[in-house]
């Protein structure tokens, strides 16, 4: 795991949860972090659209999106590039949908 990925290690449970309640509590913790991070990510996507000569869906950069997917696939091998591409595409499209530009 690279140095940036180390930043999320404290969010992970120290011991593997085993009961349904423990698993759901661990999932809730991670979903909390994901929601906060997604909110911040969407704000950054919006800011980028104001900087780019062509913003919004019309200005999509699929090479950049593929770079994002490839980097994330190294950190999340269980999901892999194909599943992460679905997730990244959904995040980016939702962020572009709500961006004001």
Ligand X SMILES: O=C(O)C(=O)C[C@]1(C(=O)O)C=C[C@@H](O)C=C1
Residues within the interface to ligand X (CB under 6 A): 45, 48, 52, 60-61, 64-65, 68, 92, 95
Q: Which is nearer to ligand X, 24 or 86 (CB)?
A: 86
Q: Which is nearer to ligand X, 65 or 79 (CB)?
A: 65
How far apart, in whole angstroms, are the C-alpha atoms of residue 58 and residue 68? 19
DSSP-assigned states of every residue in 41-52 = HHHHHHHHHHHS
Under a CB-based contact definition with an 8 Å cutoff, are residues 94 and 42 in contact? yes
| Closest distance of CB 32 from ligand X, Å | 21
| Closest distance of CB 55 from ligand X, Å | 7
How far apart, in whole angstroms, are the C-alpha atoms of residue 89 and residue 95? 10
| Closest distance of CB 96 from ligand X, Å | 6
Q: Which is nearer to ligand X, 30 or 44 (CB)?
A: 44
| 15 three-class SS | coil
């Amino acid at each position: 795991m690279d140095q940036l990925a180390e930043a999320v290690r404290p969010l992970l449970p120290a011991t593997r949860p085993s009961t349904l309640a423990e698993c759901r509590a661990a999932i809730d913790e991670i979903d909390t972090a994901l929601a906060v991070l997604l909110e911040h990510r969407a704000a950054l996507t919006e800011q980028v659209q104001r900087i780019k000569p062509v913003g919004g869906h019309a200005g999509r950069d699929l090479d950049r999106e593929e770079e994002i997917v490839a980097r994330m696939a190294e950190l999340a091998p269980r999901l892999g590039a194909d599943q992460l591409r679905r997730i990244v595409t959904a995040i980016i499209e939702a962020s572009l949908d709500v961006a004001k530009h």
